[in-house]
Structure 1
């Protein structure tokens, strides 16, 4: 009987639960991948830029009219942009950059300014006077 009790206590002691994290026994590093072979030469960013573009918006419902155009060849840039002003004129900015000369702009206005007639009206109206209701007794 004592032997049976001793075996039962030993088996309970050996079967205690494992708490916490135990790392896996074998460790393998993550695989590394080589980049895919390139069948074209890498782009060179050493060449000067060369582009030209133009865009514009003309919406008669909201009276929006604006746009921009620009062309660049190396370090020489030319362009202009315009906007319809609320007074009816069109403001146009023509600019150029020639190497290290900096940004040189010329601002012009096309059309005549139109201003709506303005009539000042009093904005304050005094509250109506309070007249008490008659009391009948």
Structure 2
């Protein structure tokens, strides 16, 4: 019993003394990528999209959203391990609010099999 405890203590002490013993030898570098998408739904009034690219060290991108008041919001961003996430938000167009509102539009869940 004494020898089992001694061996366990030695294994733990060697592991703590040199934590790189169990580090993987190969760490893959982040790969560059690019993607984008756009969504336009005239019925519900949805219009938004995003594009993003990475060189393996930093991420650069932007996304746009049509706001309910008629303006378009654009967010340009960068992200890396030094500066973190940095965004610049801008708006285009002029906000428009109707004088009179109609009844609210509601959508009911149809469910499966109906």
Partner of 1:70: 52
Q: Does 1:94 align with 2:76?
A: yes
- Taking structure 1 as the reference length, what is the TM-score of the superposition? 0.51
Matched residue count: 76
Deviation at 1:109, TM superposition (A): 0.5
Deviation at 1:118, TM superposition (A): 4.1
Between structures 1 and 2, the one with greater helix share: 2
Between structures 1 and 2, the one with greater strand share: 2
Q: Deviations over 1:21-48 (max 9, x none)?
A: xxxxxxxxxxxxxxxxxxxxxxx75112
* CA RMSD across the alignment: 1.8
* Structure 1 segments of 4+ aligned residues over 4 angstroms from their partners: none
Q: Which has the higher contact order (CA 8 A, sep 6+)?
A: 2
Q: Please, which runs of 5 or more residues in structure 1 have no aligned partner?
A: 1-43, 120-137
- Taking structure 2 as the reference length, what is the TM-score of the superposition? 0.60
Larger Rg: 1
Quick one: which of 89, 92, 95 aligns to 1:113? 95
